Chains A and B, each alone.
Chain A
Amino acid sequence: MDIQPKENRKVSAYYAMFLIHKMQLGVGILGFERVIAKYAEYDAWISIIIGGLSVHVILWLSFRILHKDGNDIVSIHQFTFGKWIGGVVTVFFILYILLITVTILRTYIEVIQVWMFPGLNAYVLMIVLGLLVYSFVIGGFRVIAGAAFMGILITLPLLLLKYFPLQQAHFSNLAPVFNHSIKDILLSAKTMTLNYIGFELVFMFYPFLNQPRKAEKWAHFGHAFSIFIYLVSALVSFVYFSQDQLKHSVWATLTLWKIVDLPFVERFEYVGISMWLFGVIPNICLGLWAASRAVKRLFYFEQRKSLIYLLAIVLMCSMYFETRQQVDLINTILSRMGFWIMYFYIPILFVLYTVVHKVRKKTP
């Protein structure tokens, strides 16, 4: 049951940083500013920090659970809830991961449709991306970890583009600081959780990390880096847009790319969106890998085959959501689910797991 991956399929401890960071930085960053500014308005950058710190705590809890037996969530569930109930909970976890994957894929395709090619046949593009993802995932976890690293490397320079909007910045937008009630700031922090979703995959790839105790530190670095990037993006958007204007900007970060005016390319958003594919592909790969791995562990199903079925499910679900409202809907559902899983399920699991662990140790 508790099959550990072979040494040659593991990755170094510091990859935890790339994996966690990459998974959090999906498509949300292209337009999260409007959502988080809904309650706390331009004090929402405080919410990013508060939300981020709370996720640090959850991440710490997750590692406390994982360090105990050094195994993934499938066996943790079985250990805590028994074979049948544990299996059912794992199935829910798989569905949750698939939902993350669908949301990322569908939102990215929507961006391409709205910003680049309105006449795009989404099905065909999805199938092409599906083939790409398949060839990555089939290569195993190491290939995906490499893809995540490359994805960060390629998309990180896009942060330099913040220089252009800063030239027209109105820094007075941020003043006065703390002009909103604690309640508003916390509500905004709650909407921010959608953007931190994704670190839960550590429950799947934990056994694949060499020296997992060292990896914990790197995972926290990765998450801190995500907070930093979200913070910079939000602050730049806040000083660039006036408040009502931001409310009307669905993709604030993308709109910022629009004003980048380089001598050799007048419309940078086309370059940016294309480059962002490298930021999105590893996420989809990771999601599908985690889901297919969980299926393998749970049902002893060959990962290659389950991958094809899961890929088909993800693609079909993505095709099902067509309009802006539907895409918004899956984002809302995911953010609610993510919120509950992060702040309720993981702490509860921690408590139960610790209790069961103690009880079982006493009665061998």
Chain B
Amino acid sequence: MTELSQAQRTWRNPLFAWDSAQEVEQLPTASYVSHQEIWERTRSSRTELFKVGRLRYYHKWAGHGQSTWRRSRYWPTRRRVLRIRGEYNDKSLRREKTIVDKRPIWWVVGLMVLALVPLITPERLENTLLTAGVTFGIYAAINLCWMLVIGTASIFSLATYAIVGTAAFMTAYASTMFGLPWWLLPPLGAIIGLIFGGIIALPATRLDGFYYALLTLGLNELCRVYFVTSKEFGSATGGLYGAATYLPQDWSSTGQLQLAYYACFTLMLLALLLYRFINGRQLGRILRIAPEKREAFAEATGVDFRQARVRVFLISSVGLGFIGGFYSANYGGVAFSIFSFDTVLLGLAMLVIGGIGRAEGAVVGTLIVVFFDKVLITLGPIRLIIIGLIMLFVVLYLRNGLFGIKQQFRTWRDKKKSERRSTRAEKGGEMLPEEATEARNPDDVYRRRYDKMQREFLKKLVTPEVINEHRRAPQGQHSESLERLLIYFRNQPQPDKYAISALQSTNGYRIVALSGHRGVAPRVVEDKIYRSPVEAYHGVFLRRVQDLLES
């Protein structure tokens, strides 16, 4: 570069012969630079290669063009079993199918494994595992209803176990006192749950967020104290037992356990169905438009989110009451421990570990916690410490539980990627590899690359002589270097291109930048007012040169 600009040449003006008054005969100018040389230098690759791309792997299933519109649906509805996207491959021109949402497959596999557990457990673990399985089924059902309250209705209620416990105690009491059969207990529990839920839903309409959480925590404690101290509910025996149970007494203990396991499993399936029907349909959709702190918007669009929340709360209270009735029919009674603070804590741990707002989070979180709490029962208090540590870890490091990991990891990776990208990006440079993989039209990549090489070349032509030449005569015949620069500048696209606006009031000229959009006025670039068009032309030239050198 330096040697090129040092070796100066003169430029002889061909127009001098005709109009010697206005034109000069010769001017110093930059020497000729071979663009071939620049081209060679630019072509030689010095670029560091980075691993880029954000493709997610999807298996492509074969599809036939004839079966494009053949789809399997859940029978009475128009809902499809799997969300499948069909497309034609651009390269192979074959029809392909992609399963967009694989969660139904995971659900089916997981539930089938759970259904097969009693058949495949080894003999000596059967008792422990099936007892834990019974607890799991009931707790998963409770947590699914709770998830409806916390996740869907975003009411942070901690009185879930109070509802379950009250329903269980009342039904057990009714069964022992009036001899109700076992199949009446869950419906009775549902009615009790509705009444109890109705009572505690009253303050929910007035209080928000944490005020309600603390209140319900207190309510839970209130229930505990009431039931523990009252004689009718067996304050002496640590619980109320002797309710009717659906387990036939003449069966073997293994058979009873297996029956209980499948009954609780069915209960969990029912709760899943309830979750699906509330969260995935009208109520859930209404509430999804009104998340916490954005209620005002929902209200403005005419969504009555308060009523929807209370309805979800009441429905899940009915569900919880039903589960409470089932609880006492399953165990033949209920212990006070259902009201204890640790039960609430463990329940919350189950929700938090799985991730709030997802059915799979409730089920898997319950599985993990029940595994530690009931299967590893020989560990003593350590098992609860382990659960607490998992809970603490999840809360400190994960944004939304185990099932939020995928999303959180992607967000983190994108953040890191854009940080790294920003260290390498340059103004007016080539497309970065990451951008290039996302560019719709590959031509753009090459256009940017060519443009960059052209700029590299043009930068070398900017010398004081060239600028002086332009100051003398912005228009007319120019030396080769200046002509190349001007052609490049003139060919730039319209948006943000510099222009000159003539001011009527002061009889001056000002530099503006075009918006590139019809009807949008150009923006003023600088305050300086030029006296003559020639000066203004040169001002524009200087700005463009500066922009070129900066890029």
Are the chains A and B members of one assembly? no
Residues of A within 8 A of B (CB): none
Residues of B within 8 A of A (CB): none
